[in-house]
Amino acid sequence: MTIGDAPVRVALLGCGVVGSQVARILVEQADDLKARVGRPLELVGIGVRTPGPRPGIDEALLTTDVEALVRREDVDVVIELIGGIEPALTLILAAIETGKSVVTANKALLAQHGAEVFGAARASDVDVYYEASVAGAIPIIRPLRESLVGDAITSVLGIVNGTTNYILDQMHTHGSSFADALAEAQSLGYAEADPTADVEGHDAAAKAAILASLAFHTRVNLTDVDCEGITGISTGDIAAAERLGCVVKLLARCSVSADGTVAVGVHPTMVPVEHPLAGIRGAYNAVFVESVNAGRLMFMGPGAGGSPTASAVLGDVVTAARNRVRGVSGPGESAYSTPGITDPGRVESRFYLSITVRDEPGVLARVAEAMARHDVSIAAVRQEQLGDGGYARIGVTTHEAPYASVRDVVSLLTATNDVHGDVRLLRVEGA
């Protein structure tokens, strides 16, 4: 508990896209924040990797001795905005061990070391808040951890990565190249320090692991997530989606399977234009939560960017500071359930297969036969001529089928003389 009228003292680690905005808000909104906490929020130091002036930041606050800042006795709340695993993990554990509350936006770390971090926080009876770690400014952690904790969540579905949504949106609406759209997303501050995490789906997978852990009161790790990014998405896929009245979105899906296990996946998916997720543009994110008693809820808003993400961080800082003033800690993680993870091959979806074939009699029948052999039911077929080279493209949309069965169909087709090149496979969301 902070004593008397003493300020709540805050140490900020990392002064990049998000950290610099947090520092700005702590200064610009100091009076309002003081009124809300009941004490001033005093920024006592900013841990940086390299010294030197930064626009709008008091240089006297900067230090490169980040661990010493974390361990300072007069610090109450540590905000970790460095990103990555180390040194962020060591610093967070040092903060917890020395009795500080922690606020972090670091989904990569929580999805891989959540058990260790939350266990340490429980042992030290301090708060760890992480609203900014999933879907940026959108309140989704607190609704799952607190507002919906009395309900039974059955699924969480959404767009949780701003960079990939920005790239796919630019490809659809402006015909931009993947590389140009990624460069723009980086310059706008949406991308991770290494954007591989975004485009390979790892960032969305980390967020899906965090969402599934909260939704199903369990511990889902990054390695439990069946993950596919958008690097394989071509202009041909974008055009195929448009022909079907769809847009391609990177969707994260967490659900309870029929046998009670939990399925968590991230996949580029064709979404019909009339579906609410199809209208989520730029770096916006949206998350649907479905629960037994509340029904369907939708959360939507900016999913990335310095200022929006800083908004979520400040919400957590105020909450942690209020708790310290009152000498209490907030709700811990409830990870009491051990349902196990569904084998990705058993997860059902609708699929779209784009198959380039020799344009000869009987080929379409043999494609249909391959699907029937693996019990994959066809919902629609579309065939088009490809120039004069003797090839045609068959686009097949399936009814719901287990991924393993569709994968077997693809292997079977690829091995035949009918098929030319690879078979493209994408999931299709229902309208």
Ligand X SMILES: N[C@@H](CC=O)C(=O)O
Residues sharing a CB contact under 8 Å with residue 429, sequence separation 6 or more, in sequence order = 249, 251, 269, 270, 271, 272, 275, 277, 350
* CB of 303 vs ligand X, minimal distance in Å: 5
Asked whether residue 19 is marked as a ligand-binding residue, the answer is yes
Smallest separation (angstroms) from ligand NAI to the CB of 309: 4
Tokens of 379: 């919902």
Single out the catalytic residue among 34, 100, 207, 249: 207
The footprint of ligand NAI on residues 324-363 (CB under 6 A) is none
CA–CA separation, 423 and 407 (whole Å): 10
Cα–Cα distance for residue pair 324/100, rounded to 1 Å = 9
Burial class for 351, CB neighbours closer than 10 Å (0-12, 13-18, 19+): buried
Task: Work out what residue 131 binds among ligand NAI, Na ion, ligand X, none; the CB cut-off runs from 5 to 8 Å by kind.
Answer: Na ion
Determine the 3-state secondary structure of 365 from DSSP: helix
Residue 188 or 325 having the CB closest to ligand NAI: 188
Given the complex with ligand NAI, which of 33 and 304 has the nearer CB atom?
304
Phi, psi angles (nearest 5°) of residue 58: -70, 115
Q: Is 162 one of the binding residues for ligand X (CB under 6 A)?
A: yes
The minimum distance between CB 141 and Na ion, in angstroms, equals: 6
Of 5-44, which residues contact ligand NAI (CB under 6 A)? 13-19
Residue nearest to ligand NAI (CB): 16
What does the block give as tokens for 290? Answer: 């479905």
Q: Give the separation between CA 325 and CA 1, rounded to whole angstroms.
A: 5
95 contacts ligand NAI (rule: CB under 6 A)? no
Query: Considering CB distances under 5 to 8 angstroms, the limit depending on partner class, which of ligand NAI, Na ion, ligand X, none binds residue 357?
Result: none
Phi, psi of 3 (to 5 degrees): -90, 140
- Region from 21-29, 159-167, 172-180, 235-243 binding ligand X, contact rule CB under 6 A: 159-167
Ligand-binding annotation for 192, yes or no, is: yes
Residue 79, phi then psi, degrees to nearest 5? -105, 115
The residues that touch Na ion, with contacts defined as CB under 5 A, are 131, 135, 138, 140, 312
- DSSP per residue over 83-117, as a string? -SSTTHHHHHHHHHHTT-EEEE--HHHHHHHHHHH
Interface map 276-305 toward ligand X (x if CB under 6 A)? ---------------------------xx-
Q: Is 81 in the site for ligand NAI (CB under 6 A)?
A: yes
CB of 199 to ligand NAI, least distance (A): 14
Please state the residue numbers annotated as binding site: 13-20, 107, 192
Q: Which residues are catalytic?
A: 207
